[in-house]
């Protein structure tokens, strides 16, 4: 077993178990059986992962817990439900016979291909009983180690503690290039953070000197307000709200 594989296995083994894959499950959505040690934890929104084998190779899937449900089959019986309405609790059924279930949506899969973590897909459904672990920054850093030059962190995963990594490539070909242009739409209610997210995305693309950025700001939020040239340096600092990112000047006559 490679040192890299051993490392990721050790990191996952030391992370907290919160459940197992249950039934029914599919490649578009997994059902979880929540462990008794995790039923009192906040799980919705948490970033989780599990390991499985696909095509004879170890794979690691990342996803988010989207829902947690409770079921007590005894209290679904009309007679027992009537007793519960009258008494509030029916011992020893209430509480002790509860089952917590969850839903998980997979967003990224990596294959350990001869010491290299390559992007993959969830092409099969792992066996029931496969453990679900909480993701950590250390696990994410190991899986994404090869792609650090293309990753930009947009804060933290909603409802979770790990930093949220997003993959940004320029539209050209060659190193770090996507090979084509693509569109991004940001939608949400007032105050949900659309402008902040847009500015963070601009910062991510600003790393690429061959990629031009044209901003239309009809509401005058002053996206580039505060952009200033540093003394005795051919570098610019774009300061967006509480964020800053430095990009190299592409030519001597470039103005800011």
CB contact burial 215-226 (16+ within 10 A = b; e otherwise): eeeeeeeebbee
pLDDT of residue 93: 76
Residues 108 and 185 in one domain: no
How many domains, the chain?
A: 2
Residues 188 and 126 in one domain: no
Residue 52 lies in a domain: yes
- How confident is the model over 1-35, as pLDDT tens digits? 455 555 899 999 999 999 999 999 999 999 999 99
Residues 141 and 173 in one domain: no
Is the bond preceding 65 in cis, omega lying within 30 degrees of 0? no
- How confident is the model over 138-178, as pLDDT tens digits? 999 999 888 887 787 877 877 778 888 887 878 888 777 77
116-123, Cβ contacts within 8 angstroms, sequence gap of 24 or more: 116/146, 117/4, 117/8, 117/60, 117/142, 117/143, 117/144, 117/145, 117/146, 120/54, 120/59, 122/27, 122/61, 123/27, 123/54, 123/55
Kindly report the pTM of this predicted structure: 0.72
Alpha helices, DSSP H only, in 146-256? 194-205
Tokens of 194: 């659309």
Residues 92 and 172 in one domain: no
Domain that holds residue 176: 168-248
Domain-terminating residue out of 87, 114, 146: 146
Residues 15 and 101 in one domain: yes
Q: Tell me the mean pLDDT in the region 171-195.
A: 82
Residue 28 lies in a domain: yes
Q: Which of 135, 162, 105, 129 has the alpha carbon at shortest distance from 16? A: 135
Residues 183 and 142 in one domain: no
Residue 156 lies in a domain: no
Q: Are 69 and 140 in contact (CB under 8 A)?
A: no
């Amino acid at each position: 077993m490679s040192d890299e594989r051993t490392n990721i296995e050790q990191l996952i083994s030391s992370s907290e178990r919160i459940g197992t894959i249950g039934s029914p499950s599919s490649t578009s959505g997994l059902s979880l059986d929540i462990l008794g040690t995790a039923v009192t934890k906040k799980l919705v929104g948490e970033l989780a992962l599990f390991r499985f084998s696909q095509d004879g190779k170890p794979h690691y899937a990342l996803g988010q817990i989207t829902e947690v449900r409770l079921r007590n089959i005894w209290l679904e019986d009309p007679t027992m439900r009537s007793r519960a309405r009258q008494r509030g609790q029916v011992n020893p059924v209430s509480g002790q016979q509860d089952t917590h279930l969850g839903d998980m949506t997979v967003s990224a899969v990596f294959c350990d291909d001869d010491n290299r973590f390559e992007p993959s897909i969830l092409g099969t459904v792992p066996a029931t009983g496969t453990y679900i672990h909480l993701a950590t920054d250390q696990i994410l850093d190991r899986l994404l180690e090869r792609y650090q030059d293309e990753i930009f962190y947009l804060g933290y995963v909603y409802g979770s503690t790990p930093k949220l990594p997003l993959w940004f490539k320029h539209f050209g070909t060659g190193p770090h290039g996507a090979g084509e242009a693509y569109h991004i739409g940001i939608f949400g209610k007032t105050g949900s953070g659309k402008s902040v997210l847009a500015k963070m995305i601009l910062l991510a693309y600003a790393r690429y000197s061959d990629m031009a950025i044209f901003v239309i700001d009809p509401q005058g939020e002053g996206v580039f307000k505060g952009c200033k040239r540093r003394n005795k340096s051919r570098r610019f600092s774009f300061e967006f709200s509480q964020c800053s990112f430095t990009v190299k000047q592409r030519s001597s006559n470039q103005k800011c």
